[in-house]
């Protein structure tokens, strides 16, 4: 086998510099439901390690997550200042990412019976993912 970086089990959205903020945004939207960027920022600032995060950073992260398909706009809400702010919520892709990030794949494979393993295999095969051995 060639040397180099191996493919990790962690998802790209939970890697790197923005992983902590992505996780916080996902958690807020999953627990609180659809929110504006301002509301997300207020919730993020209550977290211990993210108190220093600026609104512009949260805004960029939310828009990047929207572009990559983890978050979608669901509507608009009139604010106290008089303009309309977009409301964002998690997509099914984001819920899948949260679930896959929390599941231990070794435990999943050992605990799954034959029927469950066949269903998971069929679902993965249906997405036309190429596998490397």
Task: Give the CATH number for residue 94.
Answer: 1.10.10.10
Domains in the chain, number:
1
Whether 32 maps to a domain, the answer reads yes
d(CA 115, CA 99): 20
Strand partners for 89: 72
The pLDDT of residue 2 is above 60: no
Tell me the pLDDT tens digit for each residue of 100-109: 888 888 888 8
pLDDT digits (tens, 9 = 90+) for 17-30: 999 999 999 999 99
Segment 43-96, tens digit of pLDDT: 999 999 999 999 999 999 999 999 999 999 999 999 888 899 999 999 999 998
Task: Assess if residue 6 is contained within a domain.
Answer: no
Q: 67 lies in a domain? A: yes
Does the residue 123 lie in any domain?
no
b/e burial code for range 84-116 (CB count within 10 A of at least 16 → b): ebbbbebbeebeebbeeeeeeeeeeeeeeeeee
Element (H, E) at 74: strand 71-78
Residue 114 located in a structural domain: no
The pLDDT of residue 1 is: 41
User: In angstroms, rounded to a whole number, what is the distance separating the alpha carbons of residues 131 and 10?
Assistant: 16
């Amino acid at each position: 086998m060639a040397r180099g970086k191996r493919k990790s089990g962690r998802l790209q959205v939970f890697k790197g510099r923005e992983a902590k903020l992505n996780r916080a945004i996902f958690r807020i939207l999953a627990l609180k439901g659809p929110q504006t960027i301002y509301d997300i920022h207020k919730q993020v600032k209550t977290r211990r390690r993210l108190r220093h995060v600026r609104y512009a950073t949260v805004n960029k992260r939310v828009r990047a997550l929207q572009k990559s398909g983890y978050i979608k706009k669901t509507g608009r809400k009139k604010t106290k200042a008089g303009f309309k702010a977009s409301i964002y919520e998690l997509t099914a892709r984001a819920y899948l990412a949260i679930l896959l990030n929390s599941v231990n794949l070794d435990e999943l494979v050992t605990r799954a019976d034959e029927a469950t393993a066949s269903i998971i295999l069929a679902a993965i095969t249906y997405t036309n993912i190429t596998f490397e051995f």
